[in-house]
Structure 1
Amino acid sequence: MNTDPIRIVVVDDHEVVRAGFAGLLATQRDFAVVGTASDGGEAVAVCAEQRPDVVLMDVRMPGVDGIEATGRILADAGEPGPRVLILTTFDLDEHVYDALAAGASGFLLKDVTAERLFDAVRVVASGEALLAPTVTRRLIGEFARMRPRQAARGAGALAALTPRETEVLRLIAAGLSNPEIARSLSVTEETVKTHVSRVLAKLGLRDRTQAVVAAYESGLVVPGFGGPGDRADD
C-alpha cells in the first residue's frame, strides 16, 4: 500500500484564497502542499518542477487562465500526470466546461467545506473522476447543447467501440456508478470495470469525466437526457 503523501499544488490569483486552501490541505497527514502559484503560467512551471499528484486550479485568472494551464500541464506531464480539480465561484460556468474538456477531472465551488475538499482530493488522487453530483452532468449537458459538436469527438470517434461498450459509455454519461451499470446490464462489476477501461483506452480519455464530455459532444447522449443520473454517483 502506498503511504506517500498526496502531493498538491494550489493555483489561485487571490493570495488569501490561495493561502487558505494551502493551509487547510496542510492540516491533513496524507497531504503535502508542494507548491502554490498565482497564475496559470506560474502553475505550469511549478508543476513541471514539483510533479504533483493533484492540482487545485482557479479557472478564472488574468494572463494564462486555468483552462490553458490545465491543457499545458497535462500535455507536458505525460501519463498518468496530475489530476486537476478546478476551483470556481459559479457551478454553471462555461470556463469550467472548457477546463473539463481540456482534461480536468472535476471541479469544486470555492465555498466548499473542508471535508468535501479533502475527500475530493483523495478521490481524484486515487484515479477516480470527481463526477459529483448532478451539477457536473448538468453543466456538461448545458454547454454541449449550446455549442456545435466537436469534430474530434464526433460520432466517428465512437466507431471503435463495441455495442456493449457504447452502452456502457451511455450509462456513464447518465451518471450511473459501476454497481448501477452492472445491475442495469445484468453483468458483474468486474465486467463493467473492464468495459470502462476499454472505452477510455479506445477513445484516448483520462477518466469518467472525459467520457461524459465525449458522450455529449459526439451526440451519443442528448443534452437534457434524464434518468438515473439525476442523482449523485455512489
Structure 2
Amino acid sequence: MGVRLMVVDEHRLHAEALASALKLRGHRVLAAAAPTAGAAELVVSRAPEVCLLGTAAPAEPGVFDPVVTIKRERPQVAVVVLGPVPSPRGIAAAFAAGASGYVRHDERIEGVERAMMKARAGEAAVAPQLLQGAFTELLNPAAQPDDEGQRLLRLLTPREVEVLVRVAEGEDTRLIAAGMRIAPSTARTHVQRVLMKLGVGSRLEAAALAARTGLLDRAASSGAATGSAAGPVGPGGPVGPVGPVGPVGPDVL
C-alpha cells in the first residue's frame, strides 16, 4: 500500500524530482514544495502520513523548527529528514526536534522508500552506516581549527599582551612607559615586537586585529593582561586604573 506523503525541499527541482519518482512507485504525493520556510503550515494543513523534509545544513540553528511545529500540531505525521552526510550534532538535532528518520539526500530511491515505510510504522529510520559514522566521530572527534585569537595570544609574552592592551586603549609610547614604569625606549621596543609578532604595520592595525579576533577578551579571561586596574605589573609595581578607551595615538615608534 502506498504512502500518503509530502516532499518539501529548499530546492524545488529536487522536491519535484523526488515526488515524481515516488509517484511512479505507487505513492500518493499530496504536494512537492519549496522553500522549507512555509513547510510546517503546509504539512499541518494537508496532514500526510509522512513528510520528507530536505535540508542542506542540518547543523544550522533553527533548521528543524518546522519539524517541531509539525509534531506539535500533527503528532501523527512522521517526518524523515533528507540531508547531507551529517555530523552527530545534525542527526541529534533532527531527532530532538521530533524527526522519525534521517536519510542522505543522495540515497537511492529504494532507500528513501524503506525509510518512509519504517517511519510510517513508528520505527526510527536511520541507515546503520550513518549511525556508525556519527558514533565514530563522537568517539574520535576531528581536531577543530585553532582559534585565531588564542593562536595570536600564544605568540605574545605577558608583558607584550599588556602593551597591546594599552595600545588598543589609545595610549601613546609616553603613557605606556609611565603606566608600566619602564623607559620610553623599552616601551617602544615592546610595541615594535608586538607589531612584528602580529604581522601588522601600525598600532591601529594591531588594535583592529586584537578586536576582530577577540584576543583582548581572551587575554583578560586568561589573566595574561596584568597591566590594568585589576592588579600589579611584574616588578614595576602596581598601576592605577586605565582611562577610557580612545583612538590609537599617532605617535611614532
Which residue number corresponds to residue 28 of structure 1? 25
Secondary structure, counterpart of 2:4 in structure 1: strand
**2:95 is aligned with what amino acid?**
L
Residues 94 and 143 of structure 1 are in contact (CA less than 8 Å); yes or no, is this contact kept in structure 2?
no
Secondary structure, counterpart of 1:135 in structure 2: helix
Secondary structure, counterpart of 1:108 in structure 2: strand
The alignment's TM-score, normalised by the length of structure 2, stands at: 0.49
Query: Structure 2 CA distance, aligned partners of 1:90 and 1:27?
Result: 27
Query: What per-residue deviation string (whole Å, max 9, x for no partner) do you get for residues 98-124 of structure 1?
Result: 111111111111111111111111121
Residues 82 and 104 of structure 2 are in contact (CA less than 8 Å); yes or no, is this contact kept in structure 1?
yes
**1:110 is aligned with what amino acid?**
H
**1:19 counterpart (16, 20, 44):** 16
Residues 70 and 102 of structure 1 are in contact (CA less than 8 Å); yes or no, is this contact kept in structure 2?
yes
Task: Please state how far the C-alpha of 1:139 moved relative to its aligned partner.
Answer: 2.4
Runs of 4+ deviating beyond 4 Å: 63-66, 140-146
- Is 1:117 aligned with 2:108? no
Secondary structure, counterpart of 1:26 in structure 2: helix
**1:105 counterpart (95, 100, 106):** 100
Query: Structure 2 CA distance, aligned partners of 1:112 and 1:24?
Result: 13
Which residue number corresponds to residue 235 of structure 2? none
Which residue number corresponds to residue 7 of structure 1? 4
Task: Please state how far the C-alpha of 1:141 moved relative to its aligned partner.
Answer: 7.5
Which residue number corresponds to residue 95 of structure 1? 90
Query: Structure 2 CA distance, aligned partners of 1:144 and 1:37?
Result: 38
Query: Structure 2 CA distance, aligned partners of 1:140 and 1:75?
Result: 29
**1:103 is aligned with what amino acid?**
G
Residues 13 and 39 of structure 1 are in contact (CA less than 8 Å); yes or no, is this contact kept in structure 2?
yes
Count of matched residue positions in the alignment of Structure 1 and Structure 2: 139
Query: Structure 1 CA distance, aligned partners of 2:88 and 2:11?
Result: 19
Task: Please state how far the C-alpha of 1:66 moved relative to its aligned partner.
Answer: 4.2
**2:46 counterpart (40, 45, 50):** 50
Residues 88 and 96 of structure 1 are in contact (CA less than 8 Å); yes or no, is this contact kept in structure 2?
no
Q: How does 1:132-147 map to 2 (within 5 A)?
A: 132-136=127-131, 138-139=133-134, 142=137
Structure 1 residues 64, 40: closer, same or farther in 2, change over 3 A? farther
Q: How does 1:72-87 map to 2 (within 5 A)?
A: 72-78=69-75, 81-87=76-82
Q: Matched residues, percent identical?
A: 23
Unaligned runs of 5+ in 1: 147-234
Query: What per-residue deviation string (whole Å, max 9, x for no partner) do you get for residues 111-148 of structure 1?
Result: 111111111111211221113204225426856998xx
Coordinate RMSD, CA, aligned: 2.7
| Greater RCO structure (CA 8 Å; 6+ sep) | 1
Q: For the pair shown, which has the larger CA radius of gyration, 1 or 2?
A: 2
Query: Structure 2 CA distance, aligned partners of 1:37 and 1:144?
Result: 38
**1:48 is aligned with what amino acid?**
V
Secondary structure, counterpart of 1:42 in structure 2: helix
Secondary structure, counterpart of 2:79 in structure 1: strand
Which residue number corresponds to residue 183 of structure 1? none
The alignment's TM-score, normalised by the length of structure 1, stands at: 0.52
